[in-house]
Amino acid sequence: MGKSGVVARARRFGRTRVLVLELLCSAPGRGWYDRIVKLPSFFGIMAQTVAAWAEELGCLVAYRTYTGNERVRDLLSGEWDIVFISAYTRASYAAYAISRQLRASGVITALGGPHAVAYPQDSARHFDYVLGMTDRNTLAKVVEERRSAGKAPGAYLAAPRHPARFPNLRRRRNFLEAALAKARFVRVIPMLASTGCPFECEFCSDAKIDYQPLPLPDVEDDVRFAAGEYPRALLIWLDPNFGVRFDPLMDAIEGASAGSRVRFGAQSSVSLLGRERLKRLARARFEIIVPGLESWFSCGEKLGGVGRLQGPDRVREAAAFVNEVIDAIPYVQVNFVFGIEGEPVLESFDLTAEFVRAAPGVWPTFNLVTAWGVSSPLSQRLHTDRRILPIPFPLLDQKSCSNVLRSHESTVDLYRGLVGLEESAFGASLSWARARRAHRWGTRIINVIRGRGSEMRERIRWHRRMQLGLEQDRGFRAFFEGSAVPIPSALRDRALAATGPFVDLLPAEITDELKYGKPRPMERPR
C-alpha cells in the first residue's frame, strides 16, 4: 500500500503507523554493478518479518529498502508512530542519523539487525529501543509500550532465542515485492531453513547460537510459492550453514520445486558437501555454492577431511575439492578471512595465491578479521584485552580495514599481502583463466565485472593507501599501534564518504569525530 493510503487509514482507525526501513548501504554504490545489481539484492528476511508481525499486531505498515539510489526525503516521507530500522554496522551511522531526525519530531525509533546485536550500548544512545534476537513477542512489547527514551538510553529487548517459525513468503509477499521492484536485473529471493550453526568458529556471530531447523512444511510452502509466483527467480538460502540436515531438507526443496525453473544458491561448510550431495544439489538446480574455507590454519572442524590438514596440504586438497564443486555447480565463491590471531600473515596470502591459481574457476572473497562489538567470542575476548582500534563504524565492512590491534610488522604485512593477492587474483591473467574455466557466459560476465570493475579497482587502491600510510606516515602508524591519537584523516574521509547523504543528519559528536578527528581512547565495548 502507498504511503498516503497507510497514513489515511491509520488516522481513521487510530492504529499505530509503522515504517520498517532496511538499510542495505549508507551511500550510493561505487560502480554500476554495485548500484544496480548487488545492493538492491542485499535484503534479508528479518525486516520483512518484522513488517509482517507488525501487521498481525494491528499496525498499518510500510516497508522500504535503502539501496543508495533513493532520496532521504522519500525514504522517510509519511507520518509514523514507530520506525524500525534494520542495519549492519557499516550502515549504523546512517541509522543513527535517521533516528535522530525522526526522534526530533516525536517518532519512536527501534534498531534491529547485526549492529544492534554487536553494539547494543552504543545503539541505545541513539534509539528508543534496541532489539537483539527478535520474535513476535519482542515486537509486541515495543508496539504496545511505545516508550520514548527522551535523552536517556533506549531500552534493550531480546528474545531468548531466534524465532522457531517465520511468517511465510505468501504472508510477506507485499513487502518482498517492494524490495524486488528495485532489483531490476536479478530477482533474488532470500529463503531460510534454519538459524544458528553447529560449529563454533571463534570470529563468527553464530559461534554460540544453537543450530535450529525451521519446520520443513514451512520451507516447502515458501519454495512452492516462490516457484509458482516468481519462476525466473534465484532463491538464495540465508542459513549461516545450509544443509546441516541435508537429506530431509533436500527432499522438501526438490518436492516443492519439481517441474519449475527456479534456481538456488547457498552457503555451506566443506564438511557438508560430499560428492553425492554435490550431484544432488546440481540436479536440484543449485547454481551458486559458497563453501566457507576461511583459513589455511584454523576452522578445521567445519572442513571435514580437508580441515585435518594445514598449510600447503590443505591448499592442495581444498583446490581439488573446489574444482569438483565447479564441475557440478556453475558459480562457486570461496570466502577467506585474513588476520586471524596466531596465523602467519604472509604465508596465509602466499597459500591463498597458490589456491587461486590451482582453482582458477572460483570467485575468491578476501575478508579482514573484524571484531564487531560483543557479537562473537573473539570480539568479546579482544575487548576484554583492550585490543580493539576505534575504527569508524562505516569502515567495519570486513573489507576496508581490520579493527584488531596487532604488532606493527604484522599490520603492514596484512595490507601488503592483501594488495599483492588482490592484484594477482583480479589481474588480467587470472581473470582470463577464471573466465575460461566458467561453464556459462553469465558466470564469465559476472566475474569480469566483479574483478575488473570500478569497485574492485577502488578497493585495491584503498588497500595500497593503507599500506603506504602504515609504512610512511607516523600518525597513521601510531593510530594502528593503539596510541591515543586522532583517527587518521584518510579513514575519516572514507567514513564520511561512506555515510553519503546522511552526514548532515548525524549527531554532532559523530560529525565532529569524522570531520575534525578528536583523539579517542582505545575502544570499549559500545
Q: Do the Cβ atoms of 465 and 63 come closer than 8 Å?
A: no
Q: Do the Cβ atoms of 16 and 384 come closer than 8 Å?
A: no
Check residue 206 for interaction with ligand SF4 (CB under 6 A). Answer: yes
Site for ligand SF4 in 254-273 (CB under 6 A): 269
Q: Cα 217–264–182 angle (5° rounding)?
A: 100
Using the minimum distance from each CB to ligand B12, give the nearer residue, 364 or 517.
364
Helix axes 454-472, 489-498, angle to 10 degrees: 160
Interacting partner of 50 out of ligand SF4, ligand B12, none (Cβ under 5 to 8 A depending on kind): ligand B12
Q: Could you give the CA distance from residue 437 to residue 431 in angstroms, rounded to a whole number?
A: 10
Q: Do the Cβ atoms of 237 and 261 come closer than 8 Å?
A: no
Site for ligand SF4 in 339-378 (CB under 6 A): none
Interacting partner of 136 out of ligand SF4, ligand B12, none (Cβ under 5 to 8 A depending on kind): none
The DSSP string of 196-224 is: S-S---TT-TTTTSPPEEPPHHHHHHHHH
Q: Do the Cβ atoms of 364 and 418 come closer than 8 Å?
A: no
Interface region with ligand B12, contact rule CB under 6 A, candidates 268-276, 324-332, 396-404, 409-417: 396-404
Interacting partner of 307 out of ligand B12, ligand SF4, none (Cβ under 5 to 8 A depending on kind): none
Interacting partner of 201 out of ligand SF4, ligand B12, none (Cβ under 5 to 8 A depending on kind): ligand SF4
Which member of 18, 37, 61, 118 binds ligand B12 (CB under 6 A)? Answer: 118
Using the minimum distance from each CB to ligand SF4, give the nearer residue, 10 or 337.
337
DSSP state, 48?
A: H
Q: Cα 397–155–52 angle (5° rounding)?
A: 70
C-alpha cell at 72: 532521504
Q: Rounded to the nearest whole angstrom, what is the least distance from the CB of residue 335 to ligand SF4 in the complex?
A: 9
Which member of 118, 131, 201, 303 binds ligand SF4 (CB under 6 A)? Answer: 201
> Closest Cα partner for 467 from 420, 408, 415, 512?
415
Q: Rounded to the nearest whole angstrom, what is the least distance from the CB of residue 464 to ligand SF4 in the complex?
A: 29
Site for ligand B12 in 27-66 (CB under 6 A): 42-44, 46-47, 50
DSSP state, 235?
A: E
Which member of 29, 40, 68, 113 binds ligand B12 (CB under 6 A)? Answer: 113
Interacting partner of 296 out of ligand B12, ligand SF4, none (Cβ under 5 to 8 A depending on kind): none
Q: Rounded to the nearest whole angstrom, what is the least distance from the CB of residue 139 to ligand B12 in the complex?
A: 7
Check residue 42 for interaction with ligand SF4 (CB under 6 A). Answer: no
Strand intervals (E) in 215-362: 234-237, 263-269, 286-294, 331-338
Check residue 133 for interaction with ligand B12 (CB under 6 A). Answer: yes
Using the minimum distance from each CB to ligand B12, give the nearer residue, 180 or 319.
180
Check residue 199 for interaction with ligand SF4 (CB under 6 A). Answer: yes
Check residue 446 for interaction with ligand B12 (CB under 6 A). Answer: no
Using the minimum distance from each CB to ligand SF4, give the nearer residue, 208 or 440.
208
Alpha helices in 105-152 (DSSP H): 114-118, 120-124, 136-145
Q: Do the Cβ atoms of 60 and 9 come closer than 8 Å?
A: yes
What is the dihedral angle through the alpha carbons of 92, 95, 100, 102, rounded to the nearest 10 degrees?
Answer: -170
Q: Could you give the CA distance from residue 49 to residue 167 in angstroms, rounded to a whole number?
A: 6
Three-state DSSP at 132 gives coil
CA–CA distances in Å: residue 130 to residues 112, 137, 149, 307, 507: 6, 14, 11, 38, 18
Using the minimum distance from each CB to ligand SF4, give the nearer residue, 114 or 500.
114
Q: Rounded to the nearest whole angstrom, what is the least distance from the CB of residue 57 to ligand B12 in the complex?
A: 13
Which member of 44, 120, 240, 307 binds ligand SF4 (CB under 6 A)? Answer: 240
Site for ligand B12 in 181-220 (CB under 6 A): 195, 204-206
Point out which residues bind ligand B12 (CB under 6 A). Answer: 20, 24, 42-44, 46-47, 50, 84, 86, 88-91, 112-115, 117-118, 131, 133-134, 162-163, 195, 204-206, 238, 240, 372, 375, 397-399
Point out which residues bind ligand SF4 (CB under 6 A). Answer: 197, 199-201, 204, 206-207, 240-241, 269, 292, 302
